[in-house]
Every structure is written in C-alpha cells, then in structure tokens.
Structure 1
Amino acid sequence: MGLGKLIRGQTLSSISYRAAEAWELAQLFDREGRRIMYESVLTVQPGQEAVLVNEGTLADIFRPGRYELTTENMPVVTALKEWKYGFDETFIVETVFVNTNDIIDIPWGTSGKLTLPDNTFGMVNLGANGKYSFAITDSAAFIHKLMGTKNRYTVEDLKGFLTSHISMMFKEIITEQPMNFFDIQGYCGEAAQALKMKLGGFLADYGITVKAMNLQIALPEAVMKAIDERAVMGAMGGMEAYAFKKQVDAQTEAMVSMAKNPGGGMNSVAGMGMQMAAGMTMAGQMGNMMGGMIQPQGGQQIPNGMAQQTAAPAAGGHRFCSQCGSPVSPNDKFCSNCGAKL
C-alpha cells in the first residue's frame, strides 16, 4: 500500500453530528483517531454551531449549513497551521458541536431554607424554586470558560454549577427588596425579574443568555395562615369586621361545645337553640356594620339595637331565647328556663 492510500485511510471526508438528547449542550466530535483532510465536508445541523479547536486554540466557527473545508473558509486554522493545498496535507483539529437552541423550563431551587427577619412575623424560614430558560449565544466563550476540557457538557452539568449561585442571588434579592408577604404573588413577579437580571449578567461571561425566569416562594404554615386570614378580613370589609367574626366564631364554638357536653344539663334541643341564636346574633350585628339600619317594607327605619333585643321567630311560629337558646312560646314575655326578658 502506498503512502498516499495509507494517509487517505486515516482521514475524514465527512463530519456531522446529531445530539442524542435535547438537554445536551455541547459534544466533542469523535474522530476515532482520524485526521480531517483538505476539502472534507462539514455539515452543521439547524440549532447547532461547529467550533474548530486547533491545539487548544479556538479557531473557526461554522453556523448551520454545508461546508467544504478549504483555506478560503478556514482562515484562522489555515493561519495557525500554515496549511498548504493538497489532498495529502492533513492536520489535527478538534470539532465541538454546540447546541444553540432555546433550552426551556429548567427547574431550580434554593439549596436550603433561608432565614429572613420580618417586622410582622419575626424570623421566617423560607425557600424558593421555579424554572428558567436559556440559550448559548457565544459558543467560543461557552467552550473556553465553561466546557473546558470536557468531551461532553449537559444541562445537568450547568445545573450543578448554578445551584449555589442562584441561592445566593435570591438571598441578595430578598435583602435588597424587602418582602411583602401579604402581596406574595406580586412580589414573586418582581423577584423573578430581578433574579433573571442577576443570573443573566452572571452567565453572559460564559456565553449564555437567560431568556425567561419564574419564581415561587415556599412560606411557613403560620405565614400562609395569616395571609388567608388577611384575605378573609378584606372580603368582610376590614379589620373591625374580621375581629368581630373571630369573636362570634369563638362564642359559637363555646356554645356548641356546651350543648354537646352531657354534663352541662342541656338537651339537644337547647343546643340547637343556642347555635341558631348565635347565628341570629351574628346576622344582626353584621347588619349593624354593613347597613347601619334595617329597612322594613313600610320605609320606616328601625334601629338595629331594637331589632336585636327581641327574640327571633323560627319556622313554625316558635321562638328561642337569645340568652340560653331554650324554645319559648310566641306570647311569652320571659324565658321559662333562664328568666331572661324576651
């Protein structure tokens, strides 16, 4: 076998690569010990860039398309190697295929609970998580500063690199922008944008552009309960209405507990009467707060206080004592059980 045939058997005439998985970011092309020859055909798929590396120096970058590797379209490598024309003139060059597609919905989370001082809740332990999207926009910087000497680089490699950095950035954000727990949805939106800016600035040096970022905060149960109660308070008309509701809830619970207690000397009918009386009392007092006055059919205004002083009639014409809940007759003036005025 002649020398020319031997050289041709050790050279590559076609170079192309398809990623095995969507989350593969970069892959060194396996030459299997062969050398690229003059006029070898390089095919770069959509969503890829091919970076030629010669003896550790980043050289030419090829975007999607089909290329015959000659001195005309390989100026940097040609200058580095002083490559001469001729089929048998070969040289050693590495080819790295880089994924330039948008990589979307990459999950992230803080590495542990963060302790945050708050004027309302004291010291609060919380965590955060979400998703982000990015793309490699500078293949040379990515290979030089992040991939290094690895033969393959994936999203998992990037996540391992970023986890501690994202946690630190989030902690900086909640320190710079004090959190309003009662407007957590709005805060998460602002914090996500701030985190996108911080992470984007950090990854720009590595040739990566952050395209999107979302964030949600995991709050302690006590804080979540306070937020829910604040929402109820707002729906009921403010702090006074909320405080009144809490008082009536406590009174109703106590009355129901007494009715269910066999040692309390009260039968089930009396217990039911207490619950109904509590409900009527609450309805009357809520009328005070919301309307101020009760408007009868004739148009005459009757103060709510007068309406509350009378025992409310129940279905069937019966009434219940507003003090003890015992049933009373329609014509009774006083409760036969506790003596309260009806």
Structure 2
Amino acid sequence: MGLFDFIRGQFIEVIEWLDDRGIMVHRFPAYDNAIKMGAKLIVRESQTAIFVNEGQIADVFGPGTHTLSTQNLPVLTALNSWKYGFNSPFKSDVYFLNMTNFTDQKWGTTNPVILRDPEFGIIRMRGFGNCSFRISDPVLFLKDIFGTKQELTTTGITGFLKASVVSGISDMIGESKIPVADLASSYDELGRLAIDKLQPNFSAIGLTLTNVTIENLSLPEEVEKMIDRKSSMSIAGNLDDYMKYQTAEAIREAANNPDGGAAGTGAGLGAGMAMGQMMGQMFGQMNGRPAEPSAGGDQRSPQAANAGQPSASGSKKFCSECGSRLNDNAKFCSDCGSKV
C-alpha cells in the first residue's frame, strides 16, 4: 500500500448507524479521522443526523442518502468560512438520534403517596404502570440532555421521566376527587388526562409523551380490610337471611362436634339465634326503628321459651341451660349437669 492509499484510507467516506438497541442518541465514532468532502451520509427512516462543529450544532439531516458538500452543509460552511466548491476533508462530530417510539417504560411510586379521599379521609396509595415517548425536537434534546456523551439509552433518563410521571399522576388523582372505590373504573381516563398534564414537561426537553398506562393503584392493607368489612355489613343488610344463616351455621357446627351432644346443639343454636337478634336490634337502632320481635314474641331460644311448659309425656320441668326435659323430682340435668 502506497502513502497515498494510506492517507486516503484515513478519510471517512460513508457515515451511517445501524444498531439502535434502545439507544436514543449515538455519536458516530469518527475519532481523529477527517470526513471526506463528498462522502455519503445515510440516514434511515426514524433517524435524524446532526453535525456539531466545536460544540456548536450545525446542520441537521433527515432520512435519505446525502452527498456531503458545501451546498448541503450551509451552517458548517459558514462556521468554518469555507469557500464555495471547498473540497478538502473536514472534521465534525456526527450524532444520530433515534426517532422511534420508546415503549414499555416502567414507572412506579417509590414511597406511598398521601391523598385525601372523600370517603376514607387521608390515605396512602401506591401505583405503577408504563409509558411511551419519542424524540420530537432532536436539536433541543441533543442540546439539553445529551451533552458530550458517546451514547444515551432510555435508562439514562429513566430517573427523570419516572419522577415526572409519578408526580404528575399523583397530583392529577388528588385534583380529580375520584373516590378510591371508583379508581379502578377510571384507569383509561386517568391515563389520557396524565398525557395532557405531563406533556409540557416532556416538550421542554424535546420529547413527546405518546401514552401513559396505569396498571394498578393499591391501598394499604388496613384500608383494604376496612373496605372488606364495609362490604360484609352491606351484604348482611337483610337481617332475616342473616339470622337464618347464623342458625344454620350453629346446627352445622353442632353436627361436626358429636361429643357436645344435645347440650352442644342447644347452646350453639341459642347462640346463633341470639347473635342474629342482637344484630337486628343494633341495625334497628341505627335505622331509627325498633327491632322486630320474633314470631312468638319471646326473645329466648326455643328450648328456654318452652322451659317449665308441660310436654306430651306430662313432664313440666326443662333445663334452663340446655332445654332438655327433666323428671319432676330431678335436681340436676342428666345431660349438661346444671343445677335445676
């Protein structure tokens, strides 16, 4: 190889960038090599190439194949005071910007956000989701964000974007006054509102926020338990059904505990009925009306209500604890052992 061939090999004749791999900005590795006047600049779709002369942004090229000359490098020509038809190699930094849409960028609250809910008062809330964005103003983005780095990936600005998204969404939810119970049905609407609210922050650095998705807004465990209790009380609003349910539960428990005998059955049944009647009285007072008495007008269990009444066999004694029939001269219950 002659000296002329060696010198010619130092001149860059083709400038292009193929591998993006999530890279937002890539600096073409020219190092100390000079760019040959008349070299080919290949800018692919969804790319923008920018020439920077001594730290100052010069010419910008969109998609296509460009032959570099003084005609299509007007800013660089003016900065270097080149004459028309200048044909010597020159030095310049070349940056390629990826203009595609960067999707599935995660965001989430690092710490719970304190909000005021119209139903539960002051609560703590966490949330997470994802967003998408793209470069809309390559010159502004290169000037304000990139600096002099060799490459910039999405992870390089994730911290800034995450903080901006979380702050904006938290503020938006607080202003919306949507109750916590209705948030799950408003995720799509909140996502669209978030784009409108956050776009000015993204535009200030040359980006466009294309999508915001809210995957989940969660409450602390104690608040979720409170919601569960409230739901249970709403379900138990039909007191008649609730009393029947308590009675059936008492019978089932007694059947599963055969060692308890008749005493266990009577005690469980009485407890179930008493609890149902107690709840009836409580809800009656809450609603401003007295609780309805049972069909016989007696608030005691069936066994206790029949205690002391004659039976078909002529016995008049019943145990007040378990309701078992007793002999007339009995002093202790033969089933539960209670004193008569």
Q: TM-score, normalised by structure 1?
A: 0.70
Match of 1:218? Answer: 218
Match of 2:142? Answer: 143
Match of 1:201? Answer: 200
- Secondary structure, in 3 states, of the residue corresponding to 1:131? strand
Change (3 A) 1:266 1:165: farther
Identity of aligned residues (%): 30
**1:317-328 alignment runs, 5 A limit:** 323=302
Match of 2:89? Answer: 90
2:37 touches 2:69 (CA, 8 Å); kept in 1? yes
Match of 2:184? Answer: 185
Q: Which moved more, 1:188-197 or 1:105-114?
A: 188-197
1:49 touches 1:62 (CA, 8 Å); kept in 2? yes
1:37 touches 1:87 (CA, 8 Å); kept in 2? no
Structure 1 unaligned regions, length at least 5:
286-304, 311-321, 325-331
2:108 touches 2:128 (CA, 8 Å); kept in 1? yes
Q: Which amino acid aligns with 2:39?
A: S
1:166 touches 1:199 (CA, 8 Å); kept in 2? yes
Match of 2:9? Answer: 9
Q: Which amino acid aligns with 1:218?
A: S
Q: Pairwise CA RMSD of aligned residues? A: 4.2
2:70 touches 2:85 (CA, 8 Å); kept in 1? no
Q: Distance in 1 between matches of 2:60 and 2:263?
A: 89
Q: Which structure would you say has the larger Rg? A: 2
Q: CA deviation at 1:192?
A: 2.1
Change (3 A) 1:85 1:2: farther
Match of 1:118? Answer: 117
Change (3 A) 1:269 1:247: closer
Q: Distance in 1 between matches of 2:191 and 2:171?
A: 13
Q: Distance in 2 between matches of 1:172 and 1:142?
A: 26
Change (3 A) 1:24 1:247: farther
Q: CA deviation at 1:143?
A: 0.4
Q: Which moved more, 1:33-42 or 1:181-190?
A: 181-190
1:38 touches 1:86 (CA, 8 Å); kept in 2? no
Q: Distance in 1 between matches of 2:240 and 2:113?
A: 36
Q: CA deviation at 1:68?
A: 0.3
Match of 2:153? Answer: 154
Task: State how many pairs are aligned.
Answer: 294
- Secondary structure, in 3 states, of the residue corresponding to 2:157? helix
Q: Distance in 2 between matches of 1:267 and 1:87?
A: 112
**1:139-288 alignment runs, 5 A limit:** 139-215=138-214, 216-227=216-227, 240-241=237-238, 265-266=261-262
Q: Which amino acid aligns with 1:38?
A: M
Match of 2:132? Answer: 133
